[in-house]
Structure 1
Amino acid sequence: MGLFPKTIVVACTALGLASCSQMQTDDTFASAKAASEKYRDVDVALAAGYIPDPSGECVESPAGGMGIHYLNMALLEVTRADPRVDGTGTHTDFLNPAILLYEPQEDGSLELVGIENLVFQASWAAAGYAYPPSYGGSEWDAMADNPDTDMDEAHGFTPHYDRHVWVFRDNPAGMIAPFNSNVSCEFH
């Protein structure tokens, strides 16, 4: 089989290029969701090597929440954690995400709400890439701490690119927005 399933090629031909692009993006998100479905059970994530963010933080902002990040350090290729998390990772495969996003529930359980990948900017450039990675039709977000502000825009990491994908929780701001107003840290 070619790059795209036959049904998508036929539909794209019939609907035109703009519709084709949207169908490919929808299929990309659906594939990522299906591949991550098993991690709805946090114990499966733990057994697969994911660990809760060592800071214990549940990330929330006026724009919405991200939840608690569960990190796969091997996929991120973390080399140090102090003073900032750094690594050599250039992993961009959303069928095997490096980060899982969980929302704490009132009963103490965790609900999988999204997935994320993160690549370190220096490693990405060293690998020969001139532009940020892209997924879902757009470039990933570039994150670096601004020392002139009180908040840590890079969330404890060295400069990096990241992409949040809200495949398990509807996001009014869009499937790939950094924050989701439908995610809360109320029960953390």
Structure 2
Amino acid sequence: MKYQLPKLLWGTMLLSVAFLLQLSCISESSDPSISLDPNLTLENPSREQESYPLENLRMDPTTLKMLADLRAATANYHDLTNALAAGYELASACVSHPTMGAMGFHYVNFGYVDGNYNPTQPEALLYEEDKNGNMKLVGVEFVVVSAAWDAHHTMIPYFGTQIFDIALAPAPLPFDNYQLHVWVWRHNPSGIFTKFNPRVSCL
């Protein structure tokens, strides 16, 4: 069953997340000790990969393969025009946190926001704007409508061995959902699955 997301509410709710996170204790499910080392060779690497190899991450082989597949599936979206042509549209201003970094601009394909989860088809693409006004792809976000997912599954979705975060309405979205940020295009020293990235900023 499709969840018809009010598009204006999406942006409003995302902008409130930074303020709400300051008021609550944030539990991150990713390992902040994750380190990077060059090793995992990807097919068709993008020239805008920003010297961020997904190499020797301290993860199981299945998760590493899923990360490589996700990067390959989203490499075409370094060019924002390709993302727009694929149905992604701007859904928020740049989202940031005063101490933990930023998420960037969310470009969402609202046709994907439902109770399904495809590990190579993220619901949102995360972009950082550079000083010249160009959008740089830095990561992705998966968003699964929890009510629709739970109707057919007994477990929360996983990306490999990484469990999704649980987000309850009304923030950051107006419906309960399972979500996961994956920083496949900009190294996140806080962890590849952590919500905010200290190496991403809003101008």
Matched residue, 1:97: 122
Provide the rounded CA distance (Å) in 2 between the counterparts of 1:117 and 1:161.
Answer: 8
Letter in 1 for 2:149: W
TM-score (structure 2 length as normaliser): 0.67
Shift of 1:156: 3.2
Matched residue, 2:161: 137
Contact 2:116–2:149 under 8 Å retained in 1 = no
Shift of 1:30: 0.9
Provide the rounded CA distance (Å) in 2 between the counterparts of 1:69 and 1:130.
Answer: 29
Contact 2:115–2:147 under 8 Å retained in 1 = no
In structure 1, stretches of 5+ residues that fail to align are 1-18, 77-88, 146-151
Contact 1:171–1:181 under 8 Å retained in 2 = yes
- Alignment: residue pair count: 146
Map Cα deviations across residues 29-66 of structure 1 (whole Å, 9 max, x no partner): 0110011000000100001110000xx42111122211
Shift of 1:94: 2.5
Matched residue, 1:12: none
Which has the larger Rg? 1
Map Cα deviations across residues 8-49 of structure 1 (whole Å, 9 max, x no partner): xxxxxxxxxxx9962221111011001100000010000111
Letter in 2 for 1:138: Q
Letter in 2 for 1:46: L
Matched residue, 2:187: 170
Higher strand fraction: Structure 1 or Structure 2?
A: 1
State yes or no: 1:64 paired with 2:89: no
Contact 1:136–1:176 under 8 Å retained in 2 = no
Identity across aligned pairs (percent)? 36
| 51 and 23 in structure 1: CA distance in 2 versus 1, 3 angstrom threshold | same
SS at match of 1:24: helix
Provide the rounded CA distance (Å) in 2 between the counterparts of 1:173 and 1:20.
Answer: 14
Map Cα deviations across residues 70-127 of structure 1 (whole Å, 9 max, x no partner): 0001111xxxxxxxxxxxx12321312111000111101100000111011111112x
In structure 2, stretches of 5+ residues that fail to align are 1-56
State yes or no: 1:182 paired with 2:167: no
Q: Which runs of 4+ in 1 moved over 6 A?
A: none
Map Cα deviations across residues 142-185 of structure 1 (whole Å, 9 max, x no partner): 0114xxxxxx7x32331111011100000011111111111111
